[in-house]
Amino acid sequence: MTIKNFLSITQALAAALVVGCGGDTAAKSTAKSSGSSSSSTSGGTSSSGSSSGATASIVGAGATFPMPIYQKWFADYQKSAGVQVNYNGLGSSAGINKITDGTVDFGASDNAMKDDQIAKVTKGVQLVPATAGAVVVGYNLPELKAPLKLTREALAGIFLGKITKWNDPAIAKENPGAPGTPIGVVHRSEGSGTTFVFTSHLAAISDAWKSGPKAGATITWPAGIGAKGNDGVAAHIKQTPGAIGYIEYSYAKTNGIATAQLQNKAGKFVEAGEKSGQAALATIKWDDQLRGWNTDPEGDDSYPIVTYTWLILYRDYGDAAKAKAIRELVKYCLTTGQAEADKLGYLAMPSSAVERAMKALDNVKP
């Protein structure tokens, strides 16, 4: 399966997001109002071998934000190393739950685990930032010829349900010719790291959001309808004139969805891209668990909503072969795999970040 096919708005968009030997997949369906459901692999539990010739088998689950680049990495790694990697794109909350339950070899989340969550995992947890990306605001407004520009007031107002028409003065001021049609907000329906990143930014720029819906992976939305996964939200935007929603940049880039220029902290309207994303990444500082965000980055060139996304590993696998296979897979992602970032709509990690992430792998023991 190619990345293009994965993100297609046709039924191929809803194909299983699984990378493994022999093309092992499970179907998923897409609905206009609720988006596509996530994929599943063989049971979600780890195994030590492969029936199709791979020397090891690794099972993971979690965030859909990095799914396109994970899919590429895992397929390429399988070809070079003979290691089967099955990954379920179920959402960041599910990734944390499954690593806690011990039903996967690794989890993945855009919302790095908190200390109290880590404490529940008896085998210990090692967070490893693997890639980074931008959360963009995609929209379907063919009447608007120039790129949509959204002030901080307009962005928060739309998702608060206070701005309901495209020609509302808060929008029309920066977007002459915006039609008087209704705005159709779409958001994630399940626990989502993308939601956490997006709502954290809204809470940083809007007192009404901070005191109302607040930031979180799962919130009570004041407006709109839910769709499952980044792919589900992308599908709804693509299909629905007047729709607007938040998705990882790769899903917009590959699927041809227009994205808004967002007003940053410096007051500049900035579009997502390599330059603006790297400028924002440079403002993020990590703690000793390699967690870090900047919900409203400084700088004229900074795109305002960027994040790292984390692989969640056990510190003690109790199996030397499994621990080695996991370490080698993640090393591949942090080194060779970074070259795929920009073309797939992600941000390559700065060299200093890669160095710290690689060192963290020393904590992953047999």
316-345, pLDDT tens digit by residue?
999 999 999 999 999 999 999 999 999 999
106-146, pLDDT tens digit by residue?
999 999 999 999 999 999 999 999 999 999 999 999 999 99
Q: Which of 255, 236, 216, 230 lies closest to 91, judged by CA?
A: 230
**Residue 355 has what pLDDT?**
97
Q: Is the pLDDT of residue 36 over 60?
A: no
- Mean pLDDT for 33-43 is 34
254-293, pLDDT tens digit by residue?
999 999 999 999 999 999 999 999 999 999 999 999 999 9
- Mean pLDDT for 237-246 is 98
331 within 8 A of 338, measured Cβ to Cβ: no
CA separation for the pair 278, 250 (Å, rounded): 15
Residue 49: pLDDT band (50, 70, 90) is: very low
Q: Which domains does the chain have, with CATH numbers?
A: 3-133+308-363 (3.40.190.10), 135-281 (3.40.190.10)
Percent of the chain with pLDDT strictly greater than 90: 84
CA separation for the pair 141, 241 (Å, rounded): 6
* 3-state class (DSSP) for residue 21: helix
pTM above 0.75, yes or no: yes
**Residue 163 has what pLDDT?**
98
Other C-beta atoms lying within 10 Å of the C-beta of residue 354? 16
Q: Is the pLDDT of residue 25 over 70?
A: no
What mean pLDDT is reported for the chain? Answer: 88
Place of tokens 């160095």: 355
Strands 306-314 and 106-109: antiparallel
Tokens of 28: 């998923």
Residue 366: pLDDT band (50, 70, 90) is: confident
